[in-house]
Amino acid sequence: MKSIRIVILAAGEGKRMKSQLAKVLHHLAGKPLLEHVIQAACQLNSAQSPIVVVGHQSQQIRDALAHYTITWVEQKEQLGTGHALLQAMPEFSDNSHVLVLYGDVPLISVETLKQLISSTPQDAIGMLTAHIFHPVGYGRIKRDDQGHVIGIIEEKDTTQQEQLITEINTGIYFLPVKYLKNWLPALKNNNTQKEYYLTDMIAHAVQENKSVYTLEPFIVEEALGINDRVQLAHLERFYQRQQAEQWMYRGVTLCDPARVDIRGEVHIGQDVLIDVNVILEGRVVIGNHCMIGPNTILRNATLGEHIEVKANSIIDGAEIASHCIVGPFARVRPGTVLATRVHIGNFVEIKNSTVDEKTKINHLSYIGDSDIGKRVNIGAGTITCNYDGVNKNKTIIGNDAFIGSDTQLVAPITIGEGAILGAGSTVTKNAPPHKLTLTHKLDQRSIDDKSIEDH
């Protein structure tokens, strides 16, 4: 069994991104490029933390990935990939192997890396290569007449003839530490960039008659690096198409697979229909038989079964039980919990509130910091005035209450069970149960059930 240490090179500036942000912190599918690679490394070798070599904007990178257990190594001067790996040498044990990954190659799969490791003999060098039609920006693999690897030429140093080679170096290597200890200090910077190339190790291997084994990934995109925003967009769309196809094979209908973006950890049940321009961010759970309308954003949301989310709605940090209807143009904000068969209608905003079963808030309302009971009807234009400029205050509405249109509930306040609030009321005091409460200017009055019937 090979002892493996994984090192991720992430020190480069990424000048072709034309950005003030470090290249490895640019996002693909909602998370930094480097995070994709770290997750693959942790899945591949959970026993030891990955080593990440940083340089440009190193503190920002450390801060962005602080939620992972990582061995950080600093490359104070960016003098090439060989120099970067040399900085990590103190972290390697003599009898181990090193797997070299890159922070700007985000889609590398654990399955491919496992195959590279298992297919490389104990004392050989394994490397991942790929054939691409337009290999601009990549180093080329040189082979002899028998097909053996004899070297790697960085594109900046290629001749016109060498530029026609379509087999590229992905930069991903698997090799014994004992070779690195001899070869890394011996690297030269005799090239146009005056950098120490990790690729020159292959020349040392050939000179010393060490075996070099190559492997190509089944899908070439997983081995492609990102150097500019065009390449970033290409891999983003490739990743999204993969995700879309996986969910369609599992029983999800996507009206247009090209217009659904998955940017997090998603769990979707069967017989779910997702319309166009839907974004799923963070941790999203969608139960069976849901319908997600067009132009909708679900972020860190949990949806039960048989839920309809209508067009142009945002559900963020909320839990929604089965058989609810939300939207169109609804905004359900963090801390909201909806029980079964709740209706949240058009242009309704609700946050940090619990709404019990069969309650309806159908039109043009704002509900914040509230506990609302069962079978409550809240009329159009109702707002809870939950913020007094200093504190957020609570609104409590009992079962079967009826809130008339254009009503303001000035929290903290309790609306009793079965209470009726007249339209246009500004309610500043608790409303008693089973009574009609009206306000006129600053006066609030309640009428009992008998008076309501007589009226």
pLDDT bracket for residue 102 (50, 70, 90): very high
* DSSP structure string for 332-361: E-TT-EE-TT-EEEET-EEES-EE-TT-EE
Cβ-contact 314, 336 below 8 angstroms? no
Which pLDDT score, from 0 to 100, does residue 1 have?
A: 52
Q: Summarize the confidence of residues 319-341 as an average pLDDT.
A: 98
The pairs formed by 390-394 with CB atoms below 8 angstroms and a separation of 24 or more are 392/352, 392/368, 393/369, 394/369, 394/370
440 pLDDT higher than 90: no
Residue 445 confidence class, pLDDT cut points 50, 70, 90: confident
Above 70 in pLDDT, residue 323?
yes
Report how far residue 328's alpha carbon sits from residue 241's, in angstroms, rounded to the nearest whole number.
Answer: 27
Catalytic residue among 27, 234, 363, 434: 363
What are φ and ψ of residue 193, in 5° steps? -90, -10
Taking only the tens place, the pLDDT of each residue in 389-427 is 899 999 999 999 999 999 999 999 999 999 999 999 999
Q: Is the pLDDT of residue 213 over 70?
A: yes
Instruction: Write down the pLDDT at residue 454.
Output: 44
Equal fold, 4-229 vs 240-454: no
CATH number at 240-454: 2.160.10.10
- Is 455 an annotated catalytic residue? no
Q: Per-residue pLDDT averaged across 357-376, rounded?
A: 98
Q: Is the pLDDT of residue 238 over 60?
A: yes
- The answer on pLDDT for 211 being more than 50 is yes
Instruction: Give the per-residue pLDDT at 133.
Output: 87
Per-residue pLDDT at 388 exceeds 60: yes
Where residue 449 falls among pLDDT bands split at 50, 70, 90? low
Q: What is the mean pLDDT of residues 171-193?
A: 92
Predicted local confidence at residue 79, as pLDDT: 93
pLDDT over 60 at 124, yes or no:
yes
What are the extents of the domains in the chain? 4-229, 240-454
Predicted structure pTM score: 0.90
Q: Give the residue from 386, 448, 380, 384 showing the smallest Cα distance to 418.
A: 448
User: What pLDDT score does 75 carry?
Assistant: 96
Task: List phi, psi (to 5°) of 142.
Answer: -100, 135
Contact residues for 270 (Cβ-Cβ < 8 A; gap 6+): 250, 251, 252, 288, 289
Confidence check: pLDDT of 453 > 50: no
What whole-number percentage of the chain has pLDDT above 70? 97
The confidence score (pLDDT) of residue 441 equals 56
Round to whole Å and give the CA distance between 52 and 43.
15
Question: 39-48, 135-144, 261-270, 382-391: which has the minimum mean pLDDT?
Answer: 135-144
Mean pLDDT lowest for which of 110-119, 138-147, 254-263? 138-147
User: How many Cβ atoms are within 10 Å of 132's Cβ, its own excluded?
Assistant: 15
Residue 254 or residue 47, greater confidence? 254
CA distances from 256 to 55, 147, 152, 280 (A): 41, 44, 42, 15
- Which is higher by pLDDT, 299 or 440? 299
Rounded CA-CA distance 338/358 in Å is 10
Task: Supply the mean pLDDT for the chain.
Answer: 94
Alpha-carbon distances, residue 440 vs 369, 443, 444 (angstroms): 26, 5, 7
The partner residues of 447 in beta bridges, in order of sequence, read 436
Pick the CATH number of 4-229 from 3.40.50.150, 3.30.1490.20, 3.30.450.20, 3.90.550.10: 3.90.550.10
- The pLDDT of residue 447 is 74
